[in-house]
Amino acid sequence: MGGVLGYARVSTGDQDVTGQTMRLTQAGAIKVFTDVRSGRTMDRPGLDALLAYAREGDTLAIVRLDRLGRSLSELLTTVAMLKERGIALVSLEEKINTASAAGELIFHVFGAIAHFERRLIAERTKDGIAAARARGKHPGRQPLDADKIAAALKLVKAGLSPTAAARQLGLGRSTVYREVRRAGIDRLPHPA
């Protein structure tokens, strides 16, 4: 009988893995591996360390499926790899245990539902954008006001800082800096 190894992941440094770690320990995890990484990246040193540590018969425990992967294909690939190595997956929130046939089936059903939901959201977003365009709206970033940009460049040429020019004209600071670079304006005072 193998041990239970926990895996906790948060997306940003502002978040804390303590809550996940506590739940995993209460669920019997003898060791918990952690990552502070976005789910979009596959670079997860904590998960890699867990997989290097795990042996046949062990169980990988997570609080929720989204801690292990963001997409259905990513989750299915991970579960297939775990199965090949003789490692079970337990998700506390979804009450899934791939050590049993029923648990494996439930995992696939939940994964398919999550994938379906993401596709629906993407389709609704696309439909919303198309409807807005049909009403004459143009979703997304509005084009820059050429007159404001010209005025900002004149102010910078006259010696005002790009930050002050942006504030005065209601433009974004980074926008003014970008336009100053594009225009090739030398903002440094020339030595006499």
Q: How far, in Å, are 142, 157, 170 from residue 152 at the CA level?
A: 18, 9, 10
Q: Is 38 a known active-site residue? A: no
Angular region, 170: left φ>0, alpha ψ -120 to 50, beta rest: left
Dihedral through CA 17, CA 21, CA 22, CA 27, nearest 10? 150
Give CA–CA dist 124/136, Å, rounded. 18
Strand partners, 35: 9
Which residues are known to be catalytic?
A: 11
